[in-house]
């Protein structure tokens, strides 16, 4: 019996030691009309709390705001929590699926209540390797509309495009990330995405629904 307990304890200890928290920062430059407006305009800091959950801090050099929430990633979705009430589904990786979340706290671009996965596109970044980017439409209805670009393999967003102001935030620097991707590879993918006129948000407009003709 004692041997079994020691064996189980050893497995638990090995499992706990195997996990290493990974904290990293992402810096985004601001662009207006394809012209650099501000370097390091947005910083997003991730702190892994355990194997499933992480804390997120968004800071802006533009208006000095700070935003805090927690995130849980799965193979099929992103869940977020802004208070102690629990995690809410905010992004589904199923193309065409629309999520209307009841977040108690919102913020333009980063915490939206209406999100729909529009498209997934594969980009090559090496001769033999490729990566998939998710394209989302996000909104706080009647207030702000955003296009966002997410890499599932990396677990974070590469570009945010504000459809209301024609301003976008492009990832420009990565600090402290423990990943199979190095910073040069990540930024190469970001540059390819920003040059893709068929996919990038500044060239995308939501379909316009024409009103029915007036009856005579």
- Residue 128 phi/psi, 5-degree rounding, is -115, -5
Give the pLDDT of residue 3.
44
In a domain, 17, yes or no: no
pLDDT at 169 over 50: yes
Q: Is 175 a domain residue?
A: yes
Give the N- to C-terminal CA distance of the chain in Å, as an integer.
Answer: 89
Q: How confident is the model at residue 12 (pLDDT cuts 50, 70, 90)?
A: very low
pLDDT of the residue at 159: 95
DSSP state, residue 54: E
Long-range contacts of 133-136 (CB under 8 A, 24+ apart): 133/158, 133/189, 133/193, 133/199, 134/93, 135/199, 135/201, 135/204, 136/91
Task: Please state, rounded to an integer, the average pLDDT across all residues of the chain.
Answer: 83
213 within domain boundaries = no
Domain range enclosing 184: 22-203
3-state DSSP helix/strand/coil percent for the chain, to nearest 5? 15, 45, 40
The answer to whether residue 114 sits within a structural domain is yes
Q: Which of 44, 60, 43 is closest to 155 using CA atoms?
A: 44
Of 54 and 13, the structure prediction assigns the larger pLDDT to: 54
Q: Does a structural domain hold residue 146?
A: yes
The structure tokens 């974070």 sit at 156
Q: Is residue 209 part of a domain?
A: no
- φ and ψ of 95, to 5 deg: -60, 130
What six digits make up the tokens of 55? 């804390």
pLDDT at 9 over 50: no
Q: Is residue 183 a part of any domain in this protein?
A: yes
Q: Which residue has the higher pLDDT, 215 or 17?
A: 215
Specify if 212 maps to a domain.
no
Global pTM? 0.82
The pair of structure tokens assigned to 183 is 């910073």
Name the domain count of the chain. Answer: 1
pLDDT (0 to 100) of residue 180? 86
Enumerate long-range contacts of 51-57, CB under 8 Å, 24 or more apart.
51/19
Helices (H), the chain: 2-18, 183-195
In this model, does residue 93 exceed pLDDT 80?
yes
- Summarize the confidence of residues 109-131 as an average pLDDT: 90
Contact call for residues 70 and 81 (beta carbons, < 8 A)? yes
Which of the 8 DSSP states describes residue 201? G
Confidence at 127, pLDDT banded by 50, 70, 90: confident
């Amino acid at each position: 019996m004692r041997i079994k307990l020691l064996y189980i304890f050893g497995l638990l200890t090995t499992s706990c030691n195997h996990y290493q928290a990974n904290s990293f920062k992402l810096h985004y430059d601001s662009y207006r009309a394809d012209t650099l407006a501000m370097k390091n305009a947005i910083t997003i800091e991730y702190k892994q709390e355990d194997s499933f959950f992480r804390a997120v801090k968004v800071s802006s050099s533009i208006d000095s705001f700070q935003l805090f929430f927690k995130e849980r990633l799965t193979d099929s979705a992103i869940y977020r929590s802004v208070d102690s009430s629990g995690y809410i589904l905010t992004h589904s990786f199923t193309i065409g699926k629309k999520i209307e979340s009841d977040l108690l706290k919102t913020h333009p671009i980063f915490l939206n209540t209406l999100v729909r996965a529009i498209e997934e596109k594969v980009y090559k970044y090496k001769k033999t390797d490729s990566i998939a980017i998710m394209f989302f439409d996000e909104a706080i209805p009647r207030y702000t509309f955003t296009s966002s670009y997410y890499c599932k393999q990396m677990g974070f967003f590469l570009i945010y495009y504000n459809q209301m102001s024609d301003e976008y935030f492009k990832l420009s620097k990565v600090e402290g990330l423990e990943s199979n991707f190095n910073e040069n590879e990540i930024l190469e993918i970001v540059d390819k995405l920003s040059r893709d006129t068929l996919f990038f948000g500044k060239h995308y407009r939501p379909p316009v629904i024409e009103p029915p003709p007036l009856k005579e």
